[in-house]
Chains A and B, each alone.
Chain A
Amino acid sequence: MTQDVRDLLHAAAGLYRDDPRASAVLHDCLNRLEQPLRVGFTGAPSSGKTTLAAALGEWPTRALRDLVLLDDPGPADDLPDATVRLVRHLEPDELSAAHPPGGSAFARQSAVNSVLVLSRADEVGAGRIDALLTAKQLARRAWREDPLCTGFLGVIAVAGQLAYGGRSLRDDEFDLLAAFAAVPREELERHVLSVDSFTDPAFPGPIPVETRRSLVVRFGMFGVRLALTLIRTGCDDRVKLSAELLRRSGLGELRDTLAGCIVARAEALKARTAIIRLEALLAAQPRPGGDRLVSRVERFAAAAHDFRELRLIADIRGGRTALSGEPAGEAVRLLGAQGTSPADRLNLEPDADPGDIYDAGLDALRRWRHEAERPDRPHAERTAAHVVVRSTEGLLSLFA
């Protein structure tokens, strides 16, 4: 795929040889194909872009190693390959603003490169202790039911501040929190009610106001309350607390989605960006002889199966298809939601015997072909099954 795009870009460079600006764009496109994937974080001011990018960026994980995280990229020239769109509330006004913009037919058809994040999930429900759970349910419901949430690879509630705080939790901070948690709950309750009461001089204990203030600035009032509850219910060391805060923040889910649907498709997504920029160039400055290039681009766009897979993954996970339960799980796996290697797609160990992989692939192909050809199923279901069949055929072709 990348080689095809490279060829197209080289052909275009020949066409625009005399135009320095266009040549620079094409050159940049070529370079970008070699560079790491660029993920942009967009959203309204104070929706938590920087916090979330920071929380993800310092993640010591291989999955997200080859990523460049762009905090609020510029509009045109710095086109990210994938986007994390942040909204503070799942309100229609905010959602319609977060919807990916249109563009060429290919850009629209392949616009399955964004994740919607309900950021500041800790503010949901007036910061009650179950706020994160409520936020998760809200996000889940919106993904399944709200027509404005179609086409996103995920709608995920994330408490960015909590995630960042949890990730970078220091020993001294844990000690402080543990000391507060040691105070009987009834006694402490009125002091953790609000920022003001937490930083009030009347707060029990010897901890200075400024220390408490920095704690609340870092974790938020909700974060402090949650940490205290967690310490009381068993997270009795820093590592445990840090892990638990992270788990609850929803950052893990976001990371899994990014790793499974975006990093795994880095080649395809980078190719997409290059193709969109090339299309824009060809449309803005038509050249004699550009027609052939345009039709080559169109052929390439029509053949790109990755975006069909991504869209179907988004639709199945968002509950927008008739698939559910085990078949849905198998379908998204075969579509490559958990890694695009044959073993990953077939849910086998990475070092499985090639013969076994091949047999499993044949078996899956047979079953999904059957699904794709059942006349008693609606057209949409058969089309979806066809996409799965195409993916399975693709993985089998690697053994040919």
Chain B
Amino acid sequence: MTAPAWLEVLNETLDACRTHGRADLAERLRRRRDAPEGQIRLGVLGFPKQGKGYLLNAVLNAPVCAVGDAPTPEVPTEIGYAPEPAATLVGRSLERTPVAVDRLTGELGARPAGTLSRVEVGVPRELLSAGLVLVDTPPVGDPRSPRTAAALDLLADADAVILVSDATAPLSAAELALARHVRTWCPHVVLALTKIDASPGWRAVAERDRGMLAEAGIDAPVLPVSAVVRQAAAKTGDAELNTRSGFPELLTWIAEQAARPPEQSRALLAAVGVRAAAAELVESLRDRVDTAAQDAGLGQAALLQRAQRRADDLRRQNTRWQNLLSDEITDLLGDVEYDLRERTRKIVTTIDQTFDEGDPAKVWDEFASWLDETLADAVETNYAWLAERAQWTAQAVAACFGAQYDRALPELPLDGSGIDRLDDVRRPKIEKFKIGQQAFTGLRGSYGGVLMFGLVTSLPWLGLPLINPVSLSAGAAFAVKTIRDEGGMRLQRRQAVAKQAAQRHVDDVFLRYSKEFRDGIRIVQRRLRDHFTGLAEDLADELTREREMIVAGTAERERKTGHIRREIDRLAGLHQRAGELGTIAGRKPRELSA
């Protein structure tokens, strides 16, 4: 036997559903494909308290379903033919527990929720003997509840559906939506209008319902019924009352469903299923394309624009930080040198003052330690100031890049002023006026005095010898003066020598450290330049990559969107083919617009 034509279309649609992440639709189609032959499943669907249970009991003329305020099972109840009344609870993992029919309600109440998958009931009814199965479902309600899901699960394998709504009020918006959904998945639907016995205005309600269904494009007949009247008729065997209950018409409709040629019926069901699945899938794919297009339209332009803006920013920022760095470093060089010079100059002034008055021979030692200390101090202070300025400069440059970058500054190569390497000032050669020298100088001075006064006193009218007390006294006076003069000169010489030595030392220190510091600043400059150049390059690279990704992402999205568009076209084709395979006579299928 060749595979029926619908099988191929169904399989293709099923694959498409699976590929596009709609396993639920795929599962429905699979169940439609693998439905057991020789069984007609007739589902009963409706909102709570519309009289589903009463309706089914009245159809079967047997109290099978829970009615009134008895708790409705959370799972579907399948009612099929059995020679003796029997009920079976089917668990989640399909384990079967037979129970007595009259204890069914109690047993159901005793089971914790979620442990059952369905209930099977067998009743000896002629109506069901040809393989008809009536499926009572949990009431439809909140679209997110498991009860509703369990009820709508019926649509996967129902051959026909009885929708139940009571005659006390016209169809609500939710009921109409349910009817539309059911009709999409199932070709044969009837609306049973229950409780007409209690509603004086049921005829008007039936008309309203018919109108609403027609307006919504749902072709489903409306059959008013009354379970109460049917029950009374059954009790008394009153045929006329039975006709009035409306049930004979409903039973005729049910019999029609059971009598359909199975092959044709399966083709139709498959076709309707394919069309419903294809339509739902196309809708979700379209949503996906729309959102993708929205994202892309909004995203791409904005992203590229943003990247461009950031590139411009980066360029401006590069100029800014380079200028800033070079300016700051030039300033720093000048300032540091000036500061050091200023500090050394003050030291030199103090040196001058010291040696203008003091005798180096006496104060040198004390002076030398003061000088070393003061110089070290000056250099250290100058260096500390330099380091601070360098750090500040680094931060100022980092701030050009943005606040987040001033934490990751490079390590500046400022590892101490090197003041400990400073040599102590060398003691200059300071001659002291020693005793021997003093004696010699005194002798030399006294010589003139002795001679001068000796000659004068040795003149004839005095007649004194050359060496006499007067000449000797004069010699002594001359000696003292000479020694004093000589001492003064020597002191000045020593002071000059000491000043010179100290100044030269200060100059040496200034030269040495101003050079060292200048070099240090240059190294700092280089280090900062390298660091920030690197950072700028990184940012530029990142921007380039981002841009590439934006462009690549767009291409990828376009590729995907194109793929989805082609899929939509393919599904529209499947939808149409399914429409050609199975149509209800006299009805023109509405096609999906590709």
- Interface, chain A (partner B; CB < 8 A): 45-46, 88-89, 91-93, 120, 123-127, 134, 138, 189-190, 193-197, 199, 213, 216-217, 220-222
Contact = CB atoms under 8 A, between A and B. Distances in A.
Contacts of B241: 190, 193, 197
A199 B169 CA distance: 20
B584 to A, nearest CB: 32
Nearest to B245: A194
A213 B244 CA distance: 18
Q: Place the interface of chain B in its size category.
A: 20 to 34
B226 interface: yes
B232 interface: yes
Given A126-B67, A134-B68, A197-B244, A93 B48 contact: yes
A332 B217 CA distance: 57
A216 B49 contact: no
Given A89-B49, A197-B244, A46 B200 contact: no
Contacts of B199: 195
Nearest to B174: A93
A89 B48 contact: yes
Contact of B49 (A91, A127, A220): A91
B48 A194 contact: no
Contact of B200 (A91, A120, A216): A216
Contact of B51 (A126, A189, A194, A195): A126
A127 B236 CA distance: 19
Interface of B: 48-49, 51, 54, 67-69, 139, 141-142, 168-169, 195-200, 202, 226-229, 232, 236, 238, 241, 244
Contact of B198 (A45, A92, A195): A195
A93 B139 CA distance: 11
A199 B203 CA distance: 13
Q: Which 4 A-B pairs have the closest CB atoms?
A: A194-B197, A89-B49, A93-B141, A125-B68
Contacts of A124: 68-69
Nearest to A137: B69
Contacts of A216: 200
B199 to A, nearest CB: 7
A195 B196 contact: yes
B197 A123 contact: no
Contact of A134 (B69, B168, B198, B238): B69
B69 A126 contact: no
16 contacts: A89-B48, A92-B142, A123-B195, A125-B68, A126-B54, A126-B228, A138-B69, A193-B241, A194-B198, A194-B229, A195-B196, A195-B199, A196-B196, A216-B200, A221-B198, A221-B200
Given A91-B48, A190-B241, A196 B197 contact: yes
A213 B201 CA distance: 10
A197 B49 CA distance: 24
A125 to B, nearest CB: 4
A42 to B, nearest CB: 17
Given A193-B197, A195-B198, A126 B68 contact: yes
Contacts of B49: 88-89, 91
A35 B540 CA distance: 74
Nearest to B170: A46
B245 to A, nearest CB: 8
A162 to B, nearest CB: 13
Contacts of A127: 197-198, 228
A348 B346 CA distance: 108
A194 B198 CA distance: 6
A221 B68 CA distance: 18
A193 B238 CA distance: 13
Q: Specify the main secondary structure of chain B where it touches its partner.
A: loop
A125 B227 CA distance: 12
B247 to A, nearest CB: 13
Contacts of B236: 190
A181 to B, nearest CB: 19
Given A93-B142, A197-B229, A190 B238 contact: yes
A217 B201 CA distance: 8
A167 to B, nearest CB: 20
Nearest to B49: A89
A214 to B, nearest CB: 10
A17 to B, nearest CB: 46
Contacts of A222: 198
A197 B139 CA distance: 30
Contact of A46 (B48, B54, B168, B197): B168
Contacts of A93: 48, 141-142
A123 B198 contact: yes
A49 to B, nearest CB: 13
B69 A125 contact: yes
A195 B68 contact: no
Nearest to B202: A195
A111 B322 CA distance: 69
A45 B67 CA distance: 25
B197 to A, nearest CB: 3
A190 B141 contact: no
B113 to A, nearest CB: 13
A190 B197 CA distance: 12
Nearest to A44: B172
B109 to A, nearest CB: 14
B228 A193 contact: yes
A100 B126 CA distance: 51
A120 B195 CA distance: 14
B194 to A, nearest CB: 9
Contacts of B228: 126-127, 193-194
A189 B198 CA distance: 15
A49 B49 CA distance: 19
A127 B199 CA distance: 11
Contacts of B244: 194, 196-197
A138 B71 CA distance: 12
Contacts of A138: 69
Given A216-B200, A220-B198, 10 more contacts: A126-B227, A193-B241, A194-B196, A195-B198, A195-B199, A196-B196, A196-B197, A196-B244, A221-B200, A222-B198
A194 B226 contact: yes
A46 B169 contact: yes
Nearest to B67: A126
Contact of B232 (A123, A134, A193, A196): A193
B168 A193 contact: no
Nearest to B169: A46
B168 A123 contact: yes
A123 B168 CA distance: 10
A199 B197 CA distance: 11
A135 to B, nearest CB: 9
Contacts of B198: 123, 127, 194-195, 220-222
A199 to B, nearest CB: 8
Contacts of B227: 126
A370 B88 CA distance: 57
Contacts of B68: 124-126, 134
A79 B68 CA distance: 36
A388 to B, nearest CB: 35
Contacts of A120: 168
A305 B54 CA distance: 49
B525 to A, nearest CB: 56
B534 to A, nearest CB: 52
A221 B236 CA distance: 20
Contacts of A190: 232, 236, 238, 241
A179 B232 CA distance: 24
Contacts of B200: 195, 199, 213, 216-217, 220-221
Residue among B54, B198, B228 with most chain A CB within 10 A: B198
